[in-house]
């Protein structure tokens, strides 16, 4: 059972998290073309995870110049630059210290995912934003983000992660993708549902993935799901998979972003 102090800290984290989401929403809304890069940034940061050594993962190491400049991260600098600007704004109003890059990258990817969900709903309504928002609020999967939102408090790496752990997705074969996903505990299902993270053209990526008999059924399942009004299978599986991806090998500090409560000087109280 939570005591009063716990509840205060939860509220502090919740309020800060809401502010972070608002800042990222506005940043992405003004730069919608950056969405695929934000997704890939989160994926490449996370897939440095190595189970054998329990090292790497979604720890913000991709922010280092020696890592962002690697071949697999070509074209991701603008996304990182956008997050650098967002971080300045977030840190300016944070009462519990600067946001970690690890949290920033993953919450930006969450905002990007939500933006694609909303865009799909608007498209189903013939481009009418008001109707699209109503449709998404009625049938969308916004309520599925609970576990992801609780895992707020990732700690940044202090050095770049080792090279050679992330494929160059645009050049990788399906087998190479499967092998990498298998190495972190994912299978064909997760590979198919994360297709939007693997490059700027989801359709082209899915065409390639559909050439593999293990992945093809999942690609087809999610394509069918995206044609429905609710898109439930696709959206729920994507949120579930991304949530797991965002914490590979990470210990969450559940006290992050909390701050001392204001003290009352009882000698100055008027009775």
Residue 199: per-residue pLDDT:
83
Region 7-166+230-246: CATH code? 1.10.520.10
pLDDT of residue 205: 95
Q: Among 72-81, 93-102, 138-147, name the one with the lowest average pLDDT.
A: 138-147
Contacts of residues 264-268 at CB distance under 8 Å and 24 or more positions apart, as own/partner, are none
Torsion of CA 166, 168, 172, 178, to 10 degrees: 20
Q: Which residue would you say has higher pLDDT here, 23 or 265?
A: 23
Q: Model-level pTM? A: 0.93
- The pLDDT of residue 124 is 94
Per-domain residue ranges of the chain: 7-166+230-246
Res 3: pLDDT: 67
> Would the pLDDT of 5 be above 80?
no
Q: pLDDT (tens digit, 9 = 90+) per residue, 172-222?
A: 999 999 999 999 999 999 999 999 999 889 999 999 999 999 999 999 999
pLDDT tens, position by position, 93-138 = 999 999 999 999 999 999 999 999 999 999 999 999 999 999 999 9
Predicted confidence band at 260 (pLDDT cuts at 50, 70, 90)? confident
What's the average model confidence in pLDDT over 151-164?
97
pLDDT of residue 140: 87
- Say yes or no to pLDDT of 47 above 60: yes
Give mean pLDDT, residues 1-16: 82
Predicted local distance difference test score (pLDDT) of residue 268: 64
Split at pLDDT 50, 70, 90, the class of 269 is low
């Amino acid at each position: 059972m939570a005591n009063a102090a716990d509840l205060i800290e939860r509220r502090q984290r919740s309020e800060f998290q809401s502010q972070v989401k608002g800042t990222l929403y506005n940043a992405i809304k003004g730069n919608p073309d950056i969405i695929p890069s934000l997704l890939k940034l989160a994926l490449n940061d996370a897939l440095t995870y190595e189970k054998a050594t329990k090292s790497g993962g979604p720890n913000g190491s991709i922010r280092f110049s020696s890592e962002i400049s690697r071949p697999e991260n070509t074209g991701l600098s603008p996304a990182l630059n956008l997050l650098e600007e967002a971080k300045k704004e977030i840190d300016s109003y944070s009462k519990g210290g600067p946001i970690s890059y690890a949290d920033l990258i993953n919450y930006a990817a969450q905002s990007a995912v939500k933006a694609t969900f909303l865009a799909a709903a608007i498209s189903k309504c013939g481009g009418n934003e008001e109707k699209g928002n109503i449709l998404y609020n009625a049938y969308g999967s916004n309520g599925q983000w609970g576990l992801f939102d609780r895992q707020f408090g990732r700690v940044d790496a202090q050095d770049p992660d080792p090279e050679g752990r992330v494929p160059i997705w645009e050049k990788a074969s399906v087998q190479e993708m499967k092998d990498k996903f298998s190495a972190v505990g994912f299978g064909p299902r997760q590979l198919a549902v994360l297709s939007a993270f693997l490059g700027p053209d989801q359709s082209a990526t899915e065409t390639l993935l559909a050439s593999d008999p293990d992945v093809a059924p999942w690609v087809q399942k999610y394509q069918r799901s995206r044609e429905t009004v609710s898109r439930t299978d696709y959206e729920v599986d994507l949120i579930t998979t991304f949530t797991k991806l965002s914490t590979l090998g990470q210990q969450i500090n559940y006290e992050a972003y909390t701050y001392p409560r204001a003290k009352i000087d009882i000698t100055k109280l008027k009775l």
